[in-house]
Amino acid sequence: MAKLNWGIVSAGRIAALFCQDLTFSANSHLYAVAARQQTDANAFAKQYGIEKAYQGYQALFGDPEVDIVYIATPHNFHFQQAFDALMAGKHVLCEKPMTVSIEECHILVKLAKDKGLLLMEALWTYFLPAMQQAKKWLDEGRIGQLKHVKVDFGYPIPFTPDGREYNPHLAGGCLLDMGIYPLAIADYFVKADIDILYVQAHVCETGVEDDVIIIGKSGDVTVSLAATFLCRLSNNAYLIGDKGYIVIPDAFRAYECSLYHLDELVDSFTDNRQSLGYHFEADEACRLIEQGEQESMVVTHQHSLLFQSQIARVSALIK
């Protein structure tokens, strides 16, 4: 399998984490980076041993040696950058949320299919070994019939009216920024849409939500989700059945999981990985491109459309 040349869109923190992990992907070559400022692109390229550094993203999209782009900019920019990359004939791995509306998501999915290119939302959590082990335990019936799923994700982000997280003109709010994780993790285990029963949220002075709680039903499973900018939550996932439960600490970056029957620990798993875990999604993208696939069966286009639909429904209840 030939190595693919990656072009990195952004020289920010998330892009840095991805590049750090790309060294663990045997079929990936870190080839190019683009930033708004040439100095930022140059510094990033030097730090990670990248061959090409571009000012402006179109220059990267126009490089014929780039096979696939990883988009790690703030999510309000994702749609246009993914659109431009696909139009330039590049495969796309785009950070979550891939867009800020279901309409934008539909456009990208159709364009990728028309162009015969891979489009994949970067839900790295789905590829983590501990997450997959928890799913295996669940499918094996180790906790009996699933009854409750509880997931939260929150970190304190100081309020700044012009900051991206709190700016409504930059698609601010904790639902898009952090809520995608609880929604996605719940769907990974339940595999059914959420019928929203109750949403409680706090809306800050800029008009975006900085704290949100979602309680609903997915079939026969009660789902309790939370996201916030106000404090660090446990950031754990709990899968609770009628015979036991599974705990996934820091589920968004899951390193381990534990299985309990009542108060007794009966099984545990730790992946002992040396990486952060971003390379698993890179490996999936490389494999799909090599096989001529346009869509991951782990993170499907339907997943991305579903999450946009759920976010829109929750947002409507907040507003």
- Given 46, 96, 115, 217, the catalytic residue: 96
How far apart (Å, rounded) are the C-alpha atoms in residues 187 and 109?
Answer: 20
In the numeric block, the tokens 């090409």 are attached to 52
**200-209 long-range Cβ contacts below 8 angstroms, 24+ apart:** 201/318, 202/230, 203/318, 204/159, 204/166, 205/161, 206/161, 206/166, 206/167, 206/168, 206/172, 207/168, 208/166, 208/167, 208/168, 208/172, 208/173, 208/174, 209/173, 209/174, 209/175, 209/318
- Residue 96 annotated among the catalytic residues of the structure: yes
Question: Quick count: other Cβ atoms within 10 Å of Cβ 116?
Answer: 10
How far apart (Å, rounded) are the C-alpha atoms in residues 19 and 41?
Answer: 13
Q: Is the dihedral of CA 153, 72, 16, 274 positive or negative?
A: positive
- Contact between residue 23 and residue 2 where contact means Cβ atoms under 8 Å apart: no
What are the catalytic residues? Answer: 96
